[in-house]
Amino acid sequence: MSTRQIILDTETTGLDAALGHRILEVAAVELIDRRLTGNHLHRYINPERASEEGALQVHGLTEDFLRDKPKFGEIAPELLDFISGAELVIHNASFDLSFLNKEFALLDLKTVKEYCPGVVDTLAMARELHPGKRNNLDALCDRYQIDNSKRTLHGALLDANLLAEVYLAMTRGQESLIIDMAPAPQAAAATRRAAGKLELVVLAASVEELAEHDKQLAELDKASNGATLWRKIDAGAADAAKT
């Protein structure tokens, strides 16, 4: 069964929906089975109010530009149609959800989580993977070598596409590699038959390579505050040897 996810981002007039700030741009990008499909939804919205100066400096969307754009109620049906039934992937999800839920409430609609089966917060995920480091979208793009050179201002569609790449990079574990790279059954069988006829050569790591490997493991262990699995296994083995 295919897994459908929607990478979602909004731009707003300010930082707090409870103070009456509104959504003025929304973008949603579709992933199916961890692959971008090219399907997306992107709308500018007339928020019916001015942006705070700080927010305006972030997104650059003026009242004049937004004046002839549809109001949120006009785009809500197509937004709901696009995201319903999909898992949402959002950076700092509580922020965007607070604004979406406020907009939905004004239209007597249910909360977002009643339309979507789950929400992945990539900010929480990044903080767990990279404790103590900057984990905003720009920092993550730099960390995962994703080109964000066009991001001079925040824009919902550009940010959603960048977040999709960041999310795929952060979650590209062994299971996803197998899914992405597994050969067709016939090709796999042919590979196994060919491998049976080969004389495999095993190259042992040098002393220098082993030392560099230990150094990399130590750095990973330090970054995770000693939570790495291999350290726990090593400690357990050492304790067992003493008994």
Is residue 77 scored above 80 in pLDDT?
A: yes
* Run of H or E including 55: helix 53-59
Q: Where are the beta strands (DSSP E) in the chain?
A: 4-12, 23-32, 35-44, 87-90, 119-121
Question: What angle, 0 to 180 degrees and rounded to 10, lies between the N-to-C axes of helices 122-129 and 156-170?
Answer: 40
Q: With beta carbons less than 8 A apart as the criterion, state whether 42 and 31 touch.
A: no
169-228 pLDDT, tens digit each = 999 863 434 344 444 455 455 545 545 555 556 667 777 777 777 777 777 777 666 666
Exactly one of 21, 59, 91, 154 is catalytic; name it: 154
Kindly give, in sequence order, each residue whose CB lies less than 8 Å from that of residue 35, ignoring residues fewer than 6 positions away. Answer: none
d(CA 177, CA 167): 14
Query: What pLDDT score does 196 carry?
Result: 56
Q: What per-residue confidence (pLDDT) applies to 154?
A: 82
pLDDT on residue 236: 64
The average pLDDT across 56-66 equals 94
Give per-residue pLDDT as tens, 132-174. Answer: 999 999 999 999 999 988 777 688 999 999 999 999 999 986 3
Instruction: Name the region of 225 (left: φ>0; alpha: ψ -120 to 50; beta: rest).
Output: left
pLDDT score for 98: 98
* Closest to 160 measured CA to CA, from 78, 89, 232: 89
What value does the mean pLDDT take over residues 15-44?
97
Q: Which residue has the tokens 């339309």?
A: 115
Q: Where are the domains of the chain?
A: 4-176, 207-242
pLDDT tens column, 85-110: 999 999 999 999 999 999 999 999 99
Residue 209: the pLDDT is 74
Say if residue 41's pLDDT is above 70: yes
Three-class secondary structure of residue 226 per DSSP: coil
Q: Are 55 and 14 spatial neighbours (Cβ–Cβ below 8 Å)?
A: yes
The per-residue pLDDT for 204 is 75
Q: Cα–Cα distance between 100 and 26 in angstroms, integer?
A: 10
pLDDT for residue 183: 46
Whether 213 is catalytic:
no
The reply to whether CATH 3.30.420.10 applies to domain 4-176 is yes
